[in-house]
Amino acid sequence: TTTTVMPTTTTTTTPPPSPQVVGSQVPPEILEKQIKNMSDTDMDLMLQQMQEMTPEQADRMKVMGVDPAMMQKTAAMMKDNPMMKFAAKTMMKNMSADQMQKMSQQAQDQMKNMTPEQMEKMMEDLKKKGL
C-alpha cells in the first residue's frame, strides 16, 4: 500500500509596513556627527542630489511621507539663495539629531495636509523673506 501525502500550504498575512520617517534609518549619533561636520561642498552636493533624484528615490520619499517635488523646489531655492542655505546649515549644526528628526517630522506632517497652492505660497513667502 502506498500513501500519498499532499503538501500543505500555510498563508500568513502581515500588516503593511508603517511609513518610515525621514532620518529614522540613521543612528542619531552618526547623523549629528555628519551634520556638525558638514562643509559648504557637502551641503551643495546634498542639494544637488535632492534636485536630481531618480524616480526610485522619489518613490522612497513618498513612502516616507515626503513630497519629492516640494523637496526639489526647496533644494533649488536654497541653491539659489546663499543666505537661506547658510541659515539652514547653521540651524542644523545647532540642533541635536533628535531635534532635527522631530522638526523634520513636524514639517512633513504639516506639508502632508497642504494643497499644492498652499505649498507654492509657502515657498514664495520664504523667497520674499530671504530665508
Residue 80 one-letter amino acid: D
Q: Which residues, at least 6 apart from 125, have a Cβ–Cβ distance to it below 8 Å?
A: none
pLDDT, residue 56, reads: 92
Euclidean distance between the first and the last CA atom of the chain, given in angstroms as a whole number: 84
Q: Identify which has the larger pLDDT, 113 or 10.
A: 113
Rg of the chain over all Cα atoms, to the nearest angstrom: 21
pLDDT, residue 78, reads: 84
pLDDT, residue 125, reads: 81
pLDDT, residue 63, reads: 83
Tens of pLDDT, residues 68-85: 888 888 888 888 888 888
**What's the pLDDT band for 16 if we cut at 50, 70, 90?**
very low
Taking CA atoms, 90 is separated from 10, 38, 84, in Å, by 54, 10, 10
List, in sequence order, the alpha helices (H) in 68-115: 68-80, 82-93, 97-112
Q: What are the grid coordinates assigned to 21, written together?
A: 520617517
CB atoms within 10 A of CB 41: 8
pLDDT, residue 107, reads: 78
How does the average pLDDT of the chain come out, rounded? 76
Is there a contact between 109 and 22 (Cβ–Cβ < 8 Å)? no
- pTM (2 d.p.): 0.58
